[in-house]
Amino acid sequence: MKLRGYLFAAATAATAVAGLTVPAQAATFGNTGITFDKDTTVNFSFQESHGRFRSDLGIQQVGAPGSFTTLFSEANPGYDSSANDWAGSCGNTVQNCDTSFKFEAGKTYSFVLTRNSGTNGVSANRVFSTNSLNSNNSKQAIFTGDLFSGGATIAFEDIGGTANSATCAAQGSNPKADCDFNDFIVTAQAESETSESVPEPATLAGLGAVAAGFVASRRRKTA
């Protein structure tokens, strides 16, 4: 009976140690949409924009137009010079350059880049980071990096349905023209997962010591 007790206690301790691993996050974050299998908070930082009109970047739940949430808004257009493609910067064009958004598990989202009509004679426009939501399924955003490791960068092109897919295939070939994917650039980093069930390293070591102690005790008594 004592042997069974020792084995049961040792197995319980070992199982506790093995069960502490937090499962990997499953997510889609790109041109096919944005989804997470767990509620996930993502921190965003504005990097730069280019264009002679005011734009807003936000997030919208697919199928729910009224769910649009603004992440960044241009308070002033990037009017400094055409020499640098009308660059807009943090503190000048965009006042609040850091924000966060909580994506709810199981819902599908898309980034939305909008611009108002009447600014410098430019008509209103709206483009999505999800290709299927754009006219002709055009690609309006480029995703690079890893959201969970080191962060991701999202670069937008605002020309909407007028984009020529053949021209835009040569990304960045002409930094002073459309299809350069620099109209709005942000970075994104998912917040690290935490679990209240994960003990400190010292606790893990203690569990291992308990299991080892039971085995050693049994050996001494049978010697």
Higher-pLDDT residue of 202 and 181 is: 181
Rounded CA-CA distance 88/115 in Å is: 15
Q: Check: CB of residue 3 under 8 Å from CB of residue 218.
A: yes
pLDDT number for residue 221: 54
Instruction: Evaluate if residue 16 carries a pLDDT over 90.
Output: no
Closest CA to 72 of 113, 29, 30: 113
SS3 of residue 14 by DSSP: helix
Over residues 154-166, the pLDDT tens digits come to: 999 887 545 555 5
- What pLDDT sits at residue 160? 56
pLDDT above 70 (res 55): yes
- Separation of alpha carbons 192 and 42, rounded Å: 9
Written as six digits, the tokens of 198 are 């994960």
Residue pair 168/127 in contact by the 8 Å Cβ criterion: no
Name the more confident of 18 and 147.
147
Q: Where residue 85 falls among pLDDT bands split at 50, 70, 90?
A: confident
* 217 alpha carbon, distance to own chain's centre: 51
Given this model, what pLDDT does residue 206 score? 53
Please indicate whether residue 181 or residue 197 has the higher confidence score (pLDDT): 181
The burial of 2, by beta-carbon neighbours within 10 Å (0-12 exposed, 13-18 middle, 19 or more buried), is given as: exposed
Handedness of CA 27, 29, 30, 34 (dihedral sign): positive
Q: What mean pLDDT comes out for the span 91-102?
A: 94
φ, ψ (nearest 5 deg) of residue 87: -65, 140
For the chain, the average pLDDT equals 75
Query: Both tokens of residue 139?
Result: 């690609």
Other CB atoms within 10 A of residue 82 CB? 9
CA 47 remoteness from chain centre: 15
For residue 39, give the nearest of 109, 112, 129 by alpha carbon. 109
Give the mean pLDDT of 54-83: 85
Bigger pLDDT: 201 vs 138: 138
Rounded Cα distance, 160 and 84, in Å: 22
